[in-house]
Amino acid sequence: MKIRLGTFNLFQFVEPPYSWYIKKDKFNKIKWIEKTQWIKNQITQMNCDVIGFQEVFSRNALKDIVKDLGFEYFETADIAKTSKDNPNIFTSTTVAIASKFPISHIQEVKAHIPSIKKHNYEGFFRFSRIPIKATIILPNEKEMLVYVCHLKSNRLNEFEYTFNEDDSLEYKKSLINKALKDNYSNALKQRLCEASSLFFDLKKEKNKASVLICDLNDKEFSITIDALCNNKYHDDKRKESLILHDAHNQYEKAIYNPHPEQKEIKRTPTSFFAGKGNVLDYIFISKDFNKKNKNAIAKVSNYTIYNKHLEENPDGSLLKSDHAQVVCELTFK
């Protein structure tokens, strides 16, 4: 049995006559048809059984699209809010999940209060976008937890560190702790609180096969990934061990290298900013799908980036998306 899971940031999925954030930012009917047709084509190419979506404003419009494509089950954990002054302007966005398999129930991911305090968060904490935690019944009648999230973005372009593969967790924490203490980046603080809350929720469900589908809004090797996956980030006394694994690293595939004459290899970016490619979109898997686990019930048999639209226009397009789509295929034993 094979199951394909995908992540898809829709980029301002707002059905006319509604606007996103300000009145002038909206699609006319012709452009909306063009955008939704492109989305349908992408979903068809992805050939998924489960997709997590980000930047969902018009919930019912997306539900109709995925139903036409064979996704009988569709859920959100929140409803996009509209302005008190103008009900045709959306002021917030949501995530959504579409599945060809039954979704038995949706659960709340609660804020982990000790982590909120540890990160010196001030005021009332809530997720920037409420994540989805869905229990899906697979064709073999087994259950799988699927989380869909869209963590806090750095819209204000506050200072944030960029790390590489050789940077140790201790080094990263030493810099981040100062940034948190001195309030260099409230966006990073919010994102780390969100990732930590997800970590502890996943840890609570450690006996269940789990997948986390996300727009992380942070780069490869970021401290956010440690907060989401690594026990040692939360407890210095623990050995470095992961409760989630990046599905990309579980599958041998062709590596993106924009400059073949250079020796280093690069992971295919899923988004671009100021001409530089970044990996922001991820699919993480629990130990149940880890190829190093002899008791794994499935393995990653494919991992594909759908980025033709970004190769044509790295900045993306409102009529398409500014993110690549990521698909992970699991083959069960």
Distance CA 309, CA 329 (A): 22
User: Range of 92's domain?
Assistant: 2-332
pLDDT band at residue 240, thresholds of 50, 70 and 90?
confident
pLDDT at site 312: 93
Contacts of 112 (CB under 8 A, 6+ apart): 193, 196, 197, 199, 200, 201
Residue 48 has pLDDT above 90, yes or no: yes
Q: What is the DSSP letter of 82?
A: B
| Cβ-based neighbours of 13, under 8 Å, separated by 6 or more | 39, 53, 55, 56, 57, 58, 61, 62
> Average pLDDT of 31-47?
98
Q: Are 281 and 9 in contact (CB under 8 A)?
A: yes
pLDDT digits (tens, 9 = 90+) for 54-79: 999 999 999 999 999 999 999 999 99
CB-CB contact of 265 with 250 (8 Å) = no
Among 17-31, 69-83, 256-270, name the one with the lowest average pLDDT. 256-270
Residue 130 · residue 97 · CB < 8 Å = no
Q: What is the CATH number of the domain that holds 241?
A: 3.60.10.10
Distances (CA, A) of 141 to 101, 116, 136: 10, 37, 9
Task: State how many domains the chain has.
Answer: 1
- Paired strand residues for 210: 145
Strands (E), the chain: 2-13, 19-20, 50-56, 73-76, 89-90, 94-99, 103-107, 132-137, 143-150, 210-215, 245-246, 271-273, 276-278, 281-285, 298-306, 325-332
Is pLDDT of 253 > 70? Answer: no
Quote the pLDDT of residue 263: 53
Average pLDDT estimate for 103-108: 96
> What does the pLDDT read at residue 259?
64
- CA 301 from chain centre, in angstroms, equals 20
Residue 198 has pLDDT above 60, yes or no: yes
Render pLDDT for 122-150 as a digit per residue (tens, 0 to 9). 889 999 999 999 999 999 989 999 999 99
pLDDT at 315 over 80: yes
Query: What per-residue confidence (pLDDT) applies to 159?
Result: 78
